[in-house]
């Protein structure tokens, strides 16, 4: 499939792979591809066609819609707590672990890792300080947030949102992997309220079928959480 490639600025691109979005960020020394999409086995090639800097890969998490092109990278950045989830979906290669507070510098472009466990155990966001943007992966978005399956934890997710709420002075925009682009930082508080109401059993659900798996769809207004029955 041919993705839609949209420049955000001269050194930043979003790569739209249908339902999911990857990003390419370039500094003066190197470039970082954030996720490899659902169908983009050629994600590395695409990235190398956009920048002349050496391209490294980081995965926000290991779900199958974010790792399609990982095989072209012998090693990549990922949170170590995500290894089981990544391997369960057939992911290979060497994980270079990144954790809370680590900074990757692309050359004049420091990127800070923020842990956001809950959607998956090792979900991370990337704070692009030079652009005052938070690349959030799946936890902060306006679409459907998958909270079913092994390792998903709504309470932990809520704690991650609360932590992030304390840092909203550090970014002006959120660049998520699904749904609208960009998203306002105020979405974090809205999602936290939705998660709180769900934990308090105050949100009604509708049945929904995901490839034969019956799920519950909880529409909290600003997004929809999908949970197991």
Q: Interface with Zn ion by CB under 5 A: which residues? A: 63, 65, 138
Nearer to Zn ion, 12 or 136 (CB): 136
Q: In what order do the strands lie in the sheet with 224-228?
A: 144-146, 224-228, 213-219, 206-210
Quick one: tokens of 149? 């399956």
Q: With the C-alpha atoms ordered 122, 125, 126, 129, is the resulting torsion angle positive or negative?
A: negative
In the complex with Zn ion, the residue whose CB is nearer, 110 or 182, is: 182
Q: Which is nearer to Zn ion, 176 or 185 (CB)?
A: 176
Q: Which is nearer to Zn ion, 65 or 82 (CB)?
A: 65
In the bound state with Zn ion, the residue whose beta carbon lies nearer, of 13 and 146, is: 146
In whole angstroms, the minimum distance from the beta carbon of 66 to Zn ion comes to: 6
For tokens 């990544």, the residue is 86
In terms of Cα–Cα distance, which of 165, 154, 146, 144 is closest to 224? 144
Q: How far apart are CA 83 and CA 91, in angstroms?
A: 9
Residues 121, 150, 147, 39: is their CA dihedral positive or negative? Answer: positive
Least distance (Å) between residue 42 CB and Zn ion: 19
């Amino acid at each position: 499939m041919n993705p839609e490639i949209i420049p955000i600025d001269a050194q930043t691109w979003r790569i739209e792979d249908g339902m999911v979005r990857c990003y390419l960020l370039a500094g003066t020394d190197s470039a970082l591809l954030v996720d490899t999409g659902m169908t983009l086995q050629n994600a590395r090639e695409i990235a190398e066609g956009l920048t002349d800097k050496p391209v490294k890969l980081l995965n926000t998490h290991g779900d199958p819609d974010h790792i399609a092109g990982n095989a072209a990278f012998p090693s990549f950045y990922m949170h170590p707590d995500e290894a089981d989830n990544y391997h369960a979906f057939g992911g290979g290669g060497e994980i270079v672990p990144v954790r809370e507070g680590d900074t990757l510098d692309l050359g004049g472009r420091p990127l800070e890792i923020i842990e956001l466990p809950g959607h998956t155990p090792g979900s991370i966001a990337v704070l692009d300080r030079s652009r005052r943007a938070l690349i959030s992966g799946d936890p902060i978005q306006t679409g459907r947030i998958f909270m079913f399956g092994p390792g998903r934890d709504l309470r932990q997710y809520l704690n991650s949102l609360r932590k992030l709420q304390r840092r909203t002075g550090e970014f002006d925009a959120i660049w998520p992997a699904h749904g609208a682009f960009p998203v306002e930082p105020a979405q974090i508080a809205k999602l936290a309220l939705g998660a709180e109401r769900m934990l308090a059993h105050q949100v009604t659900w509708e049945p929904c079928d995901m490839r034969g798996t019956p799920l519950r769809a909880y529409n909290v207004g600003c997004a929809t959480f999908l949970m197991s029955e």
